[in-house]
Amino acid sequence: MKIAFFDSKPYDEEVFSGFSTDNLSMKFFETKLNEDTVSLAKGFDCICAFVNDTVNSNVIDALCDYGIKLIALRCAGYNNVDINYAKNKISVVRVPAYSPYAVAEHTMALLLTAVRNTHKAYVRTKSFNFSLNGLVGFDLYGKTVGIIGTGKIGRVFSDICKGFGMKILAYDKYPNGDLDIKYTSLENLFKESDIISLHCPLNDESYHLINKDNISLMKNGVILVNTSRGALVDSDALLEGIRSKKIGGACLDVYEEESELFFEDNSNLIINDDTLALLMTMPNVIVTSHQAFFTKEALSNIANTTIENINEFYTTGKCKNEVTL
C-alpha cells in the first residue's frame, strides 16, 4: 500500500512515519493537491489530503484515472472536496473527531486574549513598557455567549464557558434536546449575544452566515470568534463592522482566503489580499493560522484514525468514517 500525502509539513511526517511498515509506504509532498499537482499521485493507492487541498471534479477524475480508490482526509471538515462528484467514483474518509478539546480550548484562548488584551500586554512588557493605558478589558462572567453549532466542539466550548459563569445561548440546525443548552433562533442569538462563536460546518447554507445584514442585528461591541471555517464570515462585512466599531473584536483562526497563505511563512512576501491586510492592522483583530487543532493529542489521534480508516477500507471495502451524502 502506497500513500501520497499532500500539503505535508514536518510534523505530519513525524507523526505518520511511525506507522510505516513493509506493507505500508508513505511519500510526503509539501505541495498542496490541486489540478496542477494531482499527477504526483500516479502510482499510489491512496492519497491523504488536508484542509486547503483542492479536491474538485477535475482532481477526482485524475485520481480515478490513476486507479486510486480512496481519498483519506486527515481532518474533520470536507468542504474542500466535491463530495457530490466523488459519489460512486472514489471513496472519501475523514477523521470526524480527534480532539474537540483542542479546538474549544483554543477558542477560549483567543477570546480571553481579545477581552483582556494579553496580545498587547505581551508586546509592551517585552520592551519594559508596564503602562496599563488602553488595556482595560471586561469580565466574561455573566456575559452571554452565542454558540452557533452545538456538535462536538460547540458542546465542549459551551462547558468551558459555563465554567466561566457565562450565559449560553445556542443555535443549531439540528438542536440536541439532550443537552443542557438553551436554544434560540439565529436572529435572537445575534441580538442577545455579547460574544458569538462559530462551530458549525461550512456548506452552501452556512456560507457567509456572518454577513452585513446579520452584523447589523448584533450588539454594539460584540466579539466574534471563528475557529470553524473562514467562509462562514464575509470578511469585507467583518472589516466594515470593525471599522464602524459595531464589532468590538474579532478572533479568527480561519479566514476565507486562507488557502494560499496559512500554514506557510509569508513574512518576506507582499500580501495581495487587501482585506486580510487591513484586518491585520486592527488592534482588536487577533489571527492565528488555523492552529486550533494543533495539539500533540490531536495530531496523534488524527494519525491513528487516518491509518485505521485506510486499513479498514482496504481490508473490508468500507469504512465507518466514510463521508456520505
Q: Which residues bind ligand NAI (CB under 6 A)?
A: 76-77, 97, 100, 103, 148-154, 171-174, 199-202, 205-206, 227-229, 253-254, 290, 292-293
Q: Is 119 a catalytic residue?
A: no
Number of H helices and number of E strands within the chain?
11, 11
Q: How far is the CB of 173 from ligand NAI (least distance, A)?
A: 4
- Which residue number, 44 or 171, has a Cβ lying nearer to ligand NAI? 171
Cα separation values, 22 from 1, 25, 26, 71, 312, Å = 9, 7, 11, 21, 18
Query: Which of 63, 225 has the CB closer to ligand NAI?
Result: 225
Residues 248 and 219: their CA atoms lie apart, in Å, by 9
- Cβ proximity to ligand NAI: between 171 and 313 the closer is 171
Extract the runs of DSSP E, i.e. beta strands, from the chain: 2-5, 25-28, 46-49, 70-73, 91-93, 144-148, 167-171, 195-198, 222-226, 247-252, 285-287
Q: Out of 187, 229, 257, 322, pick the active-site residue.
A: 229
Q: How far is the CB of 84 from ligand NAI (least distance, A)?
A: 17
- Write down the catalytic residue from 290, 297, 308, 322: 290
What cell was used for 285?
483583530
Neighbouring residues of 276: CB distance < 8 A, sequence distance ≥ 6: 235, 255, 257, 261
Strand partners, 142: none
By C-beta, is 32 or 152 nearer to ligand NAI? Answer: 152
Least distance (Å) between residue 193 CB and ligand NAI: 14
User: Annotated catalytic, 35?
Assistant: no
Shortest distance, position 104 Cβ to ligand NAI, whole Å: 9
Cβ-proximal residue to ligand NAI, closest one: 151
* 258 noted as active-site residue: yes
Catalytic annotation, residues: 229, 258, 290
